[in-house]
Amino acid sequence: MKLPEFSPEPIRDEDQPGYQKEIWRPSWRCFCCRDLGIVDPHLARLVMPEYNSDRDRNPICQAPGCNEGANWLHLRGSIDMRFTAAICQELDRINREDWRQATQQQFERYKKQLYIATDAIAQSHSFAISNRTPNDEREVQQRKAEIEAISPEQWGEMNKDYLVGSNKDE
């Protein structure tokens, strides 16, 4: 049997040509349990500071509208049902706000990086201009004056001759 030949499929989108970086946004609906049904350990520690997810019973999410905790009810001996709907709702609110702030901070970092990059380009451009010798500057000004002196009719002729194509050869 002749084996088929596949092209590789990169895992990371940023390795693809034309990739534009986006700020990642979670897709889960419940920020208390991240749609897993078990309260996220860092949130559980807000209610139980000594909580250890490797040792302690898993707190089940009971946030309003989140039914993922029901998937764990068959494990009665290893779940903690003390987190009420109100507690889970507050943990959801806290985590949503944390994500909003993290996204805002990341956006500000990207904005600052963009500013630094564009500023560096502008400085390199102004550096190139400021490095002109008096003769270079005179030549630039002379070329500029020559271009500004071209009449609209001459521009039209040049357009026909160089950009559109000349009919003189026909």
* pLDDT exceeds 50 at position 170: no
pLDDT band at 104 (very low <50, low <70, confident <90, very high): confident
Q: Which backbone phi and psi does 87 adopt, to 5 degrees?
A: -65, -50
Instruction: Kindly report the pTM of this predicted structure.
Output: 0.58
| Structure tokens that stand for 13 in this block | 């989108």
Return the pLDDT at 81: 95
Q: What is the pLDDT of residues 49-100, one digit of tens each?
A: 999 999 999 999 999 999 999 999 999 889 999 999 999 999 999 999 999 8
Of the listed ranges 4-8, 21-25, 87-91, the least confidently predicted one is: 21-25
